[in-house]
């Protein structure tokens, strides 16, 4: 995957917490990695762009393009290539599949970044909104922290109008991928206000990244600031075991300690679910925090005292 940053990120990239997420290092180039698909998305792609892995949910990859390329991306094998860009015919095939599978009631638009290709996302949503069996829509995006000013462009303003229209009829979630509190600039916080005016629910997703956010204070600040600004912290992930991304993976034991401390310090709604996406394609599993003993007969209370259950 080649290096790609937005103008906005270039200005912020001297900040190590942001720069290290995007600036290609020697390790990335030298190893000649063959990036893998641990979530087994490719084998669940039922028509081009549509992943149907869980009975009632489907994920649509709008394209493989994003405003900037994250070095730790789970879909690093695809990002930046043209092969995933949906055409009108692809969209029609996806809609036909969803209509034929009314058990799918929850559809997630991802990619690539759906807000980076607003014309495709608009075409897709225009048809998706009329499928009665689809009850919930979600968009996963990282564009708010990569280029907040893009949300003032005409195509995205028009897309947000459509999102707002749909959100008045069906629950609509925007899942924003954020890694570090330094990404929450005044421009980003102001964009959250605009997004909240579209009647959507804002949620966040964060991946544990070695040397970037693998400490309690950083994540505490991140989740607290998100919560204060109307974004509910949703998932905190263990980094997927994609070959070539080893430099970013934090040992699970260290993550459990951090997540346990976060649970002590944050209110329930401000504390995301700590999960691992199992690499056989099984799905997300919650990781137990360090409260319980192995046989679940005793546990530590919030102060660390041992109590019998």
Q: How far is the CB of 290 from ligand SF4 (least distance, A)?
A: 29
285-288: long-range pairs with CB below 8 Å, 24+: 287/238, 287/252, 287/255, 287/256, 287/259, 288/256
- 224 lies in the binding site for ligand SF4 (CB under 6 A): no
By beta-carbon proximity to ligand SF4, the closer residue of 68 and 259 is: 68
Size of the site for ligand SF4 (CB under 6 A): 11
Q: Per this entry, what is the length of the chain?
A: 309
Two tokens, residue 86: 């949906």
- 60 lies in the binding site for ligand SF4 (CB under 6 A): no
Q: Is residue 176 a contact partner of residue 141, using CB atoms and an 8 Å limit?
A: yes
Q: How far is the CB of 100 from ligand SF4 (least distance, A)?
A: 28
Radius of gyration of the chain (CA): 20
User: Whole-angstrom Cα distance, residue 137 to residue 167?
Assistant: 9
- 209 lies in the binding site for ligand SF4 (CB under 6 A): no
The neighbouring-strand residues paired with 60 are 50, 109
By beta-carbon proximity to ligand SF4, the closer residue of 69 and 238 is: 69
Residue from 20, 52, 61, 75 that binds ligand SF4 (CB under 6 A)?
Answer: 75
The neighbouring-strand residues paired with 232 are 203
Applying the rule CB under 6 A, the residues between 157 and 186 that interact with ligand SF4 are 177
Which CA distances in Å does 10 have to 5, 14, 118, 134, 148? 6, 8, 23, 39, 13
Residue from 70, 176, 239, 258 that binds ligand SF4 (CB under 6 A)?
Answer: 70
State the binding string over 76-115 for ligand SF4 (x if CB under 6 A, else -): ---x-------------------------------xxx--
Contact positions vs ligand SF4 (CB under 6 A): 66, 69-70, 73, 75, 79, 111-113, 142, 177
């Amino acid at each position: 995957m080649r290096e790609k940053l937005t103008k906005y990120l270039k200005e912020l990239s001297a900040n190590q917490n942001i720069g290290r997420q995007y600036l290609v290092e020697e390790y990335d180039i030298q190893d000649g990695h063959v990036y893998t698909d641990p979530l087994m998305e490719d084998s669940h792609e039922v028509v081009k762009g549509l992943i149907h892995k869980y009975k009632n949910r489907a994920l649509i990859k709008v394209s493989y393009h994003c405003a900037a390329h994250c070095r730790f991306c789970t879909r690093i094998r695809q990002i930046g290539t043209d092969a995933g860009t949906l055409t009108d015919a692809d969209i029609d095939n996806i809609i036909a599949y969803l209509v034929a599978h009314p058990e799918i009631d929850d559809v997630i638009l991802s990619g690539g970044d759906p807000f980076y290709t607003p014309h495709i996302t608009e075409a897709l949503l225009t048809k998706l909104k009329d499928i009665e069996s689809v009850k919930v829509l979600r968009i996963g995006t990282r564009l708010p922290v990569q280029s907040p000013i893009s949300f003032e462009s005409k195509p995205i303003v028009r897309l947000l109008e459509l999102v707002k229209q749909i959100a008045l009829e069906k629950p609509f979630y925007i899942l924003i991928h954020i890694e570090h509190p330094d990404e929450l600039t005044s421009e980003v916080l102001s964009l959250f206000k605009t997004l909240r005016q579209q009647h959507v629910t804002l949620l966040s997703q964060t991946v544990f990244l070695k040397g970037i956010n693998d400490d309690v204070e950083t994540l505490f600040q991140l989740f607290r600031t998100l919560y204060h600004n109307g974004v509910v912290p949703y998932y905190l992930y263990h980094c997927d075991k994609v070959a070539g991304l080893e430099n970013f993976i934090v040992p699970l034991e260290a993550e459990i300690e951090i997540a346990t401390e976060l649970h002590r310090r944050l209110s329930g709604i401000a504390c995301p679910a700590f999960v691992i996406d199992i690499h056989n394609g099984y799905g997300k599993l919650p990781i137990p925090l360090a409260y319980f003993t192995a046989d679940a007969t005793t546990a530590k209370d919030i102060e660390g005292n041992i109590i019998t259950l």
